[in-house]
Amino acid sequence: MGVAETLILGAGVSGLAAVRSSGCIALEAEPYPGGICRSYYQKPGSIDRLPEPPEDGGAYRFEVGGGHWIFGSDPGMLRLLRDSAALDQYERKAAVYFPGEQRMVPFPLQYHLSYLDPGVAERAQEEIKRGASSGAKTMAEWLEATFGPTLTRLFFGPFHERYTSGLWTRIAPQDGYKTPIDLARVELGFRGEDQTAGYNTTFHYPRHGLQGVADRMAGGEWIEFGKRLTSLNLGRSEIEFADGQGARYQTLLSTLPLNRMARMAGLETEHEPAPSTSVLVLNLGARKGPCCPEMHWVYVPESLSGFYRVGFYSNVDAHFLPRGSADRVSLYVERSYPDGQRPAEEKIREYAASVVKELQSWRFIGEVELISPTWVDVAYTWELPGSNWRAQALAALEQKGVHMAGRYGCWRFQGILESMRDGFNAGMALRAGGM
């Protein structure tokens, strides 16, 4: 077992950026780069997931982790992406869908109260005006204090119950910028003047898919694939992989989820480890239904199948469809699960049948040509009220020469550009010997 000066764990977008800026080798569990930010192609009737579109153009394009749109305006990281692919820019089209009423309300809900019944809208507006969220300790408390009981019962409560897999009553408030609140805009929306707001009002996407970006960023001989980490010995600076091989290091830069790294390292911290949720992404190719939304994605507070969001790849761009299939739709459906509790294959098939039936009852889709489930083991990260676990875990690993980077490594929500910047900066520090 030789000793490497520096190793990078993970070849998702953060790891790839670190490789580009440091020149160090990355070790990746999967046989391809990109992590959950990767597209694949699949033909109806086939189980094969292709890395490139077939010559006849007869495949749907899907993504491993659902719709990963590139939001933000980091000029440096956008230039890095444009070095690898042509990027197109889009104006967000999102909504909240209430199936019982067949009501589509533009997002953010609080800025489009005129789309609700007048009595509900007036009550919600008055509650928002009286809101005071400064003392809220949990996400549930923060949502009700900020948006009032009416909107919480109508949307924020049932949606976050599904989105967090039941954690919303335990976890701390976070990511408030996702649901902005501005009383002037609430008033304008109440009067019927639509207000666009949020962190992702515009976004980019590579013209030829995320997999092209990942492959070009990977380039060369800088990544070893099939290296799934199974153990981490901080005292001996050793790591072992599922293939039975191991390595020793002087410095380790990891983009793997912080909770997994802490668990493998056997870290003991004062506070309970923060929770995360997994997501089952159901990618579907189908005939377009008569009520198929024109939105890029819709948030769903209530669904019989338990999902919380439906996204429409092909409403972003037609290149997600097989060639000449304007009457089709390429979409994804997201359902959250407690950390790592992936359902058995039979349960996934039952769930998929339930989703198809429900979407067909809404007339979003017609005949289904392709069902392609994917699993994101750590999809969303959360923090507990008053907990210092994240900072303690990061500091404990840092003291042993293990540095964390990226969305999951640093345990905070961020987009692709921010994750790339984290990795790029960490790689530059490695090159300069600053770690």
Helices (H), 61-117: 75-84
Round to whole Å and give the CA distance between 399 and 404: 12
For residues 12 and 225, is the Cβ–Cβ distance under 8 A?
no
Say how many C-beta atoms besides its own lie within 10 A of residue 297's C-beta. 25
Residue 69: which of 199, 175, 195 has the closest Cα?
199
How big is the chain by its Cα radius of gyration, in Å? 22
Residue in this structure with the two tokens 């520090």, named with its chain if needed: 429
Calculate ∠ Cα 156-388-169, nearest 5°.
25
Residue 89's DSSP bridge partners are 204
Q: How many CB atoms lie within 10 A of CB 101?
A: 10
Q: Can you tell me the distance from the alpha carbon of 10 to that of 405, in angstroms, rounded to the nearest whole number?
A: 10
- Mark the ranges of the chain whose per-residue pLDDT is less than 70: 1-4, 133, 434-435
- E-assigned strand segments in 71-187: 87-91, 94-98, 103-106
220: phi then psi, degrees, rounded to nearest 5: 65, -155
Number of Cα atoms under 13 Å in the Cβ half of residue 190: 18
- Which phi-psi region, left, alpha or beta, contains residue 282 (left: φ > 0; alpha: ψ -120 to 50)? beta
Q: What is the pLDDT of residue 1?
A: 44
**What is the separation of C-alpha 244 from the centre of its chain, rounded to a whole number of angstroms?**
31
Residue-wise pLDDT tens digits, 57-79? 999 999 999 999 999 888 888 88
Contact call for residues 311 and 331 (beta carbons, < 8 A): yes
**How far apart, in whole angstroms, are the C-alpha atoms of residue 217 and residue 21?**
11
d(CA 253, CA 296): 35
Pairing of strands 87-91, 365-381: unpaired
For residue 4, the model assigns a pLDDT of 65
- Reading the block at residue 190, the tokens are 């109440």
Give me the residue spans of the domains in the chain: 3-33+207-272+387-432, 109-197
Phi, psi of 79 (to 5 degrees): -65, -40
Q: What is the pLDDT of residue 85?
A: 84
- Locate tokens 């001996």: which residue? 236
Please state which CATH class domain 3-33+207-272+387-432 belongs to.
Answer: alpha beta
DSSP one-letter code for 382: -
> Which structure tokens are listed for 5?
């000066």
